Amino acid sequence: MTYEPTERAVGFDGAAHEDSNFMHGDEDLRGWVQRFWPQWRIEGDLGKGSFGRVFQVAKDELGFTTREAAKMIMITEADLQQNSLSSSQESLQSKVAAAYGEILNMRSLRGESNVVLITDSENASFDGGRGYVIGIRMELLEDLGKRKTQLGGDFSVVESMRVARDICRALVACHKHNIIHRDVKPQNVFWSEGIQAYKLGDLGASKQTDFGTRSATSVGTFDYVAPEVVLRRRYSANVDVYSLGVMLFYLLNRGVKPFMGHDGSGSAQSADQARLEGKPFPDPMDGDAYIADLIRSATAGNPQYRFRTAQAFYNAIEAWPGWGKSPL
């Protein structure tokens, strides 16, 4: 796939339109939202990352107000150079291709109930192809922090297992489409009030791959990624299983890192070392013996002893005897 270094805005369907008034800088991302979607207004900020922002946007139509999230990504040669990355056109294009890859992956997962739904996307190049802006509009959901507040504090064991079940279902869908998410963590999990389910979002680190091959690219969030990713060894789709197992542990261990002791007083460095060495996870503070064994099966340091597939992990979650019982 190639990207022409011309100043234009292009919809995801490939229909290009000329645009001569281009804006630069992170502070102008609000302007790009208005340029891409003039019928939508910005209601507030939802978050900020190294290459962009997420806004809450709204549109009034026929007496109803529709609210969505707009993820705006700006990538320039100048920013790459400032971050000690190569400023070559090839490096810029690889970053842009990765951002477009998120759109392609979200499009391929439309209709999957436990994956955040994309509703539209736009992109534009400026400065003769030395900068790009990519906009992704998607359904507006609640993060886990707000969901916890709604439920009155920490998740119950049943609710934690419900999170794991829904997100594992999302991973089954991703892997069915040959997509490895590579950044499963609480910050990328959202609650849909409409369908009463948890959804997996932020496919910015996701990778579409031939499942007959293995990748060696180091991505993800350190506390959740599998040892083989951190150690830059070749890995496959069950790195997502590992990350979900770690996330379930955190939910049931009241946010305390594994191998730190229940009071969190242990050495973080020693805890990280134990995890990377593949030591079996300890029992979390909450949950029963079945769940503790489930987590250890998902987080086995050796991928060969881990759940081989997200479907296998999902089946084990579904088989938990605690479903239907009162919240623990």
Residue 210 pLDDT exceeds 60: no
- Looking at the structure, do residues 306 and 164 belong to the same domain, yes or no? yes
- Looking at the structure, do residues 89 and 146 belong to the same domain, yes or no? no
pLDDT in tens, 290-326: 999 999 999 999 999 999 999 999 999 999 999 987 5
Residue 229 pLDDT exceeds 60: yes
CA distance linking residue 308 with residue 107, whole number of Å: 26
pTM recorded for the entire structure: 0.85
pLDDT in tens, 26-69: 458 999 999 999 999 999 999 887 678 999 999 999 999 999 99
pLDDT bracket for residue 205 (50, 70, 90): low
Evaluate whether residue 172 is within a structural domain.
Answer: yes
Residues near 13 by Cβ (< 8 Å), separated by ≥ 6? none
Mean pLDDT of 132-140: 95
For the domain that residue 299 is a member of, what is the CATH number? Answer: 1.10.510.10
Of the three residues 124, 139, 154, the one that is the final residue of a domain is 139
Evaluate whether residue 326 is within a structural domain.
Answer: no
> What mean pLDDT, rounded, does the chain reach?
85
Residues near 293 by Cβ (< 8 Å), separated by ≥ 6? none
Domain count, the chain: 2
CA distance linking residue 147 with residue 323, whole number of Å: 20
Of the three residues 69, 104, 139, the one that is the final residue of a domain is 139
For the domain that residue 101 is a member of, what is the CATH number? Answer: 3.30.200.20
Residue 230's domain spans which residues?
142-318
Evaluate whether residue 325 is within a structural domain.
Answer: no
- Looking at the structure, do residues 260 and 153 belong to the same domain, yes or no? yes
Decide if 190 contacts 203 (C-beta within 8 A): no
- Looking at the structure, do residues 162 and 279 belong to the same domain, yes or no? yes
- Looking at the structure, do residues 110 and 223 belong to the same domain, yes or no? no
- Looking at the structure, do residues 194 and 206 belong to the same domain, yes or no? yes
